[in-house]
Structure 1
C-alpha cells in the first residue's frame, strides 16, 4: 500500500503507523497541519521527511525502533509544541542537529538504546520544561556540567556507569539511588 495520498487527510490529528514495515514517509505528511500525535514505532524508517517541520501542532512524536541515525536539521526547532519525543532504539550517535532551541517545549525525551557518545554542552540550555530524560544504554562516559542546572528535571535514566559521576556532581550520594538502570529524582546540591 502507498501513503502518497496521506496529505489529503488535512483534519487528521493522530497518525499511528506502528509495526507496518515502512521504509519511508511521503513528503505530503507536512500537509497535515492538524497532526498532534505521530506513532511510527517499529518500522524500518531510515529518516523522516523535512516537510514534517510544517506539522506545527505536533505534540508527540514516537519513532522508537527504526533505523534512523539523524533527523532533518532544524526539524525539532520548528515543532514548537512538541512535548514528548521518543527516539529510542535507533542509530543516533549524536543529538539531533538544531541547537538548544529544539528542546524548548519538550517535557519528555527518550533517547535510550542508541549510540550517543556525548551530550553536547548547552544542548538543554533552553529546555525549561524538560522533566524526563532517558539516556540509558548509550555510549556515554560523562555528563555535561550544565545538566545539574536542570532543576525541573524529575527523572534522569542513565546506566550505572555514570552513577558515580552524577553522585559527585549533584548530591554526594543517596540511599534512594538503585542499581542500573539508575533513575534519579530531583537531585541537586543544596545551596
Structure 2
C-alpha cells in the first residue's frame, strides 16, 4: 500500500511480508517508476538498492554511509537520506545522472566530493545541519539548481566559482554558518529568497551584475554589517522583505524607498541615527520595526502616508516634537486595522480592534 507521501511500503499484494532478514524489495508504480521506502526502520546500513530505482527514501535511520553501488542507479531522480549518521558522500553518486533532488540534511557530512558537480539535472540540494567547512567549486556546474540549502553548517567563506552557473536558483539558504565572506551573487538573476542571517558578515551580499535582480526576501540579521551602499537597492526593485536587525548599521540608503513592493522592514537593534527622508516611502509597507535605535531623533514625515501599515515599533527612539506627530499618525493607522499593533517610544503596545 502507499503512505501519504506516495512511497510504496514493502508488502506483497497477498498481505504477506518479505521474509525476515531479506532486503526490502522496491515496488513499481504507474508509468514504470520504481520507488524504495526504507525510512524509519532503525537501519544502520542501506539495503535494497537495485538498478532501475527512481526514488529512494532512507530518511530517519542510523545509516552511516551511502553504498558505492548507488552509482548503478542511473535512473534515480530523488534520494532522501535526511536524519541519518552520514559523514561522507561517495564519488560514485556522480553516475546518478537523472538525480533532481538530493536531500542529505541533518547528518554529519564534513565535505562534498567534487563529483557532485556531475549531477547536472539536480534542482534541489539540501545539506542543512551538517558539518561542512567548505563547498566544492564544482557546484557551480549545476545549472539547473533551483533551491539550495546549506544552512547550519560551519562554512567560513564561499568563493565566486560556487555561484557561477546558478542562474536558475530561486531560494538560497546560508544562515547559521560562520561566513565572513560571500562570493559575488551576480550570476543569481532568478534568486527570490536569500537567507544569510546568523553569520559574521561585515558587508552586504554583492549583486555586482547589471541587474535588475528578482530578489523578494533578504534576511541578513545577526551579522556585523555597518554600511549599505547608497545605490544598493536600485538593483532589487522586487524586494518585499528586508530583515537586517542586530547589525551595526548607522543609516539606511534612500534607494530602499525605490522598492515599490516593499512590505516589511525590520532594522531594530542597530546603530541607526536616521531613516530615509525627503523621499516617498512605498505605500505597500506593512511592517516597520526600528526599535532600539536610540540615535534616531526624527521620523520621516513621509511615513505618515503609509496607509497600509499594520505593525510599527519605535520603542526607545529619542524623538523630537515634530516626530511625535508622525508617531501619532502611525499609531492611528496601525490600530485602525484588525490585528494591527503599534509600540510607542516607551514600549507601550496599542492594538487594533
- For the superposition of Structure 1 and Structure 2, which TM-score range results when normalised by the shorter chain? 0.7 to 0.9
Residue 178 (structure 1) aligned to one of 337, 343, 346: 343
Trace 1:80-159 onto structure 2 (pairs within 5 A): 80-99=189-208, 101=210, 104-159=213-268
Alpha-carbon distance in structure 2 between the residues aligned to 1:100 and 1:161: 34
Residue 23 (structure 1) aligned to one of 115, 118, 133: 133
Alpha-carbon distance in structure 2 between the residues aligned to 1:63 and 1:100: 21
Q: Deviations over 1:84-141 (max 9, x none)?
A: 0111011111112344746621010000000111121010012111010000111112
TM-score normalised by length of structure 1: 0.83
- Kept in 2, the 8 Å contact 1:78–1:102? The answer is no
Alpha-carbon distance in structure 1 between the residues aligned to 2:144 and 2:297: 43
- Kept in 2, the 8 Å contact 1:76–1:103? The answer is no
> Larger C-alpha radius of gyration, 1 or 2?
2
Does the alignment pair 1:3 with 2:108?
Answer: no
- Kept in 2, the 8 Å contact 1:141–1:162? The answer is no
CA positional deviation for 1:42? 0.7
The corresponding residue for 2:151 is: 41
- Kept in 2, the 8 Å contact 1:77–1:103? The answer is no
Alpha-carbon distance in structure 1 between the residues aligned to 2:152 and 2:248: 22
Alpha-carbon distance in structure 2 between the residues aligned to 1:37 and 1:165: 42
3-state secondary structure, aligned to 2:194: strand
After superposition, the CA RMSD in angstroms is 2.3
Change (3 A) 1:43 1:140: same
Does the alignment pair 1:168 with 2:168?
Answer: no
Change (3 A) 1:49 1:146: closer
Deviates more, 1:123-132 or 1:1-10: 1-10
Alpha-carbon distance in structure 1 between the residues aligned to 2:186 and 2:112: 26
How many residues get paired? 178
3-state secondary structure, aligned to 1:77: coil
Q: Which runs of 5+ in 2 are unaligned?
A: 1-87, 89-110, 269-290, 304-325, 335-341, 346-353
CA positional deviation for 1:41? 0.9
Does the alignment pair 1:57 with 2:168?
Answer: yes
Alpha-carbon distance in structure 2 between the residues aligned to 1:62 and 1:48: 13
- Kept in 2, the 8 Å contact 1:100–1:125? The answer is no
- Kept in 2, the 8 Å contact 1:57–1:79? The answer is yes
Alpha-carbon distance in structure 1 between the residues aligned to 2:204 and 2:169: 20
CA positional deviation for 1:50? 2.0
- Kept in 2, the 8 Å contact 1:99–1:123? The answer is no
TM-score normalised by length of structure 2: 0.47
CA positional deviation for 1:166? 7.6
Hey, which of these two has a bigger chunk of helix by percent? 1
